[in-house]
Structure 1
Amino acid sequence: MDRSKPTLLSLTLYIGDERESPEIQDIWNTVLASNSNRWRSLHLGIFNDRDSDTIELHPLFQAITGRLESLQHLSITAIPVEVELEPRDLFSVCPSLNSIALECVDLDTLALPHSQIRSLTIRYGAIDDDFATLFPNVEHIVLEDLYCPYDPSDPERQICCSSKVRSLTVTAGRSCEEADEIFNPFRTFTLPGLSSLGITDSASDFLEDWKTFDEKTVEHFLIRSRCSITHFLLKSTPITDGQAIKVIGLMPTLQSLHIENTIAKRIDTAREIVDTAKAFTNRVAELSEAIPPVINPISFPAHMVNATLTVISEKLGG
């Protein structure tokens, strides 16, 4: 350990019933806690083996409070359900912290240096309307299975607006009970500074009910945000070529488009895969020609410099 003293450390800690053992306490005192000022990245996995809504971390964690000056990235995963962590202020003083990822952890129960955070990932969690106030400087957001504690279609609720966010990735995860929930972030946010947008499926073909793509909600989000999208990713979504072109038509500043493994979900043969890919590219070519807007109000982005269509299917292999 002494030889690597100048080097910052990346740690992964899993905590369950064994956190009470004397061996763990010795390791913590002699190796971990004494070097906490060198932690650069920490992934904390917490097994909720006591079936409680609140997880109280071992008192040994108090020894690192205020001694995490080098910590830049924090990731916390609670297994198997959402929990609250105690003590709340464990990570409140981390002057270098700029990236956090929370899975099944209640965001409101952690005291964090919110204004420092530039990158935020939330999996199987919720955000409230005060999100923009809580994280005023966040630039990169990844949301998977976002739960809305309110009705996202309620016209009287306040939509969360943040001008600092540059990239947003919305991912459908395994806990989605209805396909419509996937689009909650597009009902929740207004992001005028957004330049990169991704819509993906975290696991191939896991959500049988996700058979339609709600392009209207995405279109309303883009119109409401009035953002200038330059990078757009679609991965393993049930979007049709017509829907994709409509959405892309609202991105006049688009430079890079990546569509991956999207059409393969809805087709059965290699011939259909090839035909669908050709139909999409032919349609793109048609819209790239000089067509008067009065005749065809949907125009393809004039600044496009990179477009990738990737189809992955066993049916393509001989």
Structure 2
Amino acid sequence: MVPAIDILAQNSTRWSDFLWRISARTIHHPAFHAIRGKLPRLKNLEVFSCPSNGDIDQEAQSATGLDIFAECPSLSSVQFSPDLTGGIQFPSAQIRSLGLRVSYTTKALRILSGFPNIASLELFRVGGGKACQNHFISDLKRLSIKATDQNDVSSILNHTTLQSLSVLQISGVTEASAVGWEKWDSVPIKDFLLRSSCRVTTLHLCYLPITSEQTISLLPSLRELHVKERKVNNSCNKIVTGYLLESLQISFCHFAGDLRALIPRLTDLLLAVYPDDLNTDALMRVVTSRWLPDADDAAEAGIDCLRSIVIILRGEKLEAGENCKLSPLLDFRDAGLRVNIESSSS
């Protein structure tokens, strides 16, 4: 392994992306220390330590004070685990995109306070632990949360204020891991949005037990809505219901001066659903009512014209002709609407 490390380190000046998945103690090899100050092109860094003997405390101690990445003039994106590699020194003031993996809330918030200029934050299984007293305030614009349960979502939203946030992505880690997550608590996200007074224009929801009513009550300023349903037998946990689709429709009363259209700025819609659960007639009415390419008509209705729609039919791979109920959507392509109908086995 030593010769390989030497050869690797000799080419450090050409690195633009570096993914490290080895024990922190290995990084103490002299060949790695030789690259300090020789990473002029490095832009993206991912540091995920792998304890050789399962001793997390010893691994974290080995990482403390490591400074080989302290001088990287082009580095703007970093991902790491605070519990294992939080002691590594980074040029934190220049980091614009930060990802934290597998940590308690208190430690994660303490790490965040050291990165004052991030615009994008990704959290993977971050939450829980002892009662948190810290509060993170930032001008970041994008927040992505991948959670194993409600606590991972609530503990972060309860302790952050993000007044410039425009993109919010919340997801279960995987569809299988989210099976035990049966109920969505809407209070933390509503309190977060009220406290932050942000204008979220893009919302992605994936593998969550959120209801259609909870979804549509969130954000009137949305421009982009992505919903990926999970497979559940409990109809109470469906998101793309007839209620949601009917609520997204623009009725004729909007042309008579009633401008209270739900999500009036919506331009891009993606729905990943199981075919048996989709009300295709209601979906057609959503698209038809929101397809107003004439600027005067859109202004009179008080909405923005729909620009793109993607429907992903989940489950077994569909045979030709099985999506015939959605084929009328394809006619909108000739008029200028971007329409994509896909099937997915996952």
Give TM-score scaled by structure 2 length: 0.68
Change in 2 beyond 3 A, CA 1:28/1:46 = closer
Cα displacement (A) at 1:107: 5.4
Query: Within 2, Cα distance between the matches of 1:119 and 1:213?
Result: 28
Contact conserved, 2:123 with 2:146, CA < 8 A, in 1?
A: yes
2:232 corresponding residue in structure 1 = 265
**AA at the equivalent of 1:28:** I
Q: What is the CA-CA distance between 1:183 and the residue it aligns to? A: 2.6
Aligned residue number for residue 134 of structure 1: 114
Task: Select the residue among 250, 263, 272 that pairs with 1:310.
Answer: 272
Does residue 122 of structure 2 align to residue 151 of structure 1? Answer: no
Cα distance, 1:71 vs structure 2 = 0.9
3-state DSSP of counterpart to 1:279: helix
Counterparts of 2:182 and 2:98, CA distance in 1: 29
- Give aligned-pair identity as a percent: 24
**One-letter amino acid matched to 1:170:** I
How far residue 279 of structure 1 moved from its aligned partner, in angstroms, is 3.0
Q: Post-superposition shift, 1:129? A: 4.3
Out of 194, 206, 211, the position equivalent to 1:240 is 211
Bigger mean CA deviation after superposition, 83-92 or 214-223: 83-92
1:171 to 1:276, Cα distance in 2 relative to 1, 3 A: closer
**Alpha-carbon spacing, 1:266–1:216, altered in 2? closer, same or farther (3 Å):** farther
Which of 1 and 2 has higher RCO (CA within 8 Å, sep 6+)? 1
Alignment partner, residue 26 of structure 1: 3
Task: Please give the alpha-carbon distance, in whole angstroms, between the structure 2 residues aligned to 1:242 and 1:86.
Answer: 47
Match of 1:95 in 2: 73
Matching of residues 104-115 of structure 1 within 5 Å: 105-106=83-84, 108-115=86-93
Aligned length: 269
Select 1:74's aligned residue among 39, 45, 58. 45
Specify whether residues 33 and 289 from structure 1 end up closer, same or farther in structure 2 by C-alpha distance, changes over 3 A only: farther
Find the aligned partners of 1:44 and 1:88 in 2 and give their Cα distance: 14
Deviation sequence 1:15-40 (CA, Å, 0-9, x none): xxxxxxxxx322333x3222111111
Q: Say which structure is richer in helix.
A: 2
Is 1:39 the counterpart of 2:39? The answer is no
Task: Determine the C-alpha separation between the residues in 1 that align with 2:163 and 2:50.
Answer: 35
User: Could you say if the C-alpha distance between residues 306 and 119 of structure 1 is closer, same or farther in structure 2, counting changes exceeding 3 Å?
Assistant: same
- Structure 2 CA distance for partners of 1:212 and 1:64, relative to 1, 3 Å: same
Unaligned segments of structure 1, at least 5 residues: 1-23, 49-53, 292-297
- The structural deviation recorded for 1:246 is 1.6
Task: Answer yes or no: is 1:197 the counterpart of 2:177.
Answer: no
* Structure 1 counterpart of 2:168, one-letter code: L
Please show how residues 150-169 of structure 1 align to structure 2 within 5 Å. 150-152=130-132, 157-163=133-139, 165-169=140-144
Residue 284 of structure 1 is aligned with which of 248, 254, 259? Answer: 248
Say whether the 8 Å CA contact 2:110–2:134 is kept in structure 1: no
Preserved contact between residue 139 and residue 167 of structure 1 (Cα < 8 Å): yes
Instruction: For 1:304 and 1:228, locate their aligned partners in 2 and report how far apart those are by CA, in whole Å.
Output: 13
1:278 alignment partner AA:
G
RMSD between superposed Cα atoms in Å:
3.3
Is 1:170 matched with 2:145?
Answer: yes
Q: How many angstroms apart in 2 are the aligned matches of 1:160 and 1:216?
A: 19
Q: Cα–Cα, structure 1 residues 143 and 193, in superposed 2: closer, same or farther, change >3 Å?
A: same
Structure 2 Cα separation of the partners of residues 130 and 102 of structure 1: 14
In 2, the alpha carbon distance for the partners of 1:279 and 1:241 equals 7
Unpaired runs of at least 5, structure 2: 275-313, 323-346
Structure 1: how far apart are the matches of 2:199 and 2:90?
Answer: 31
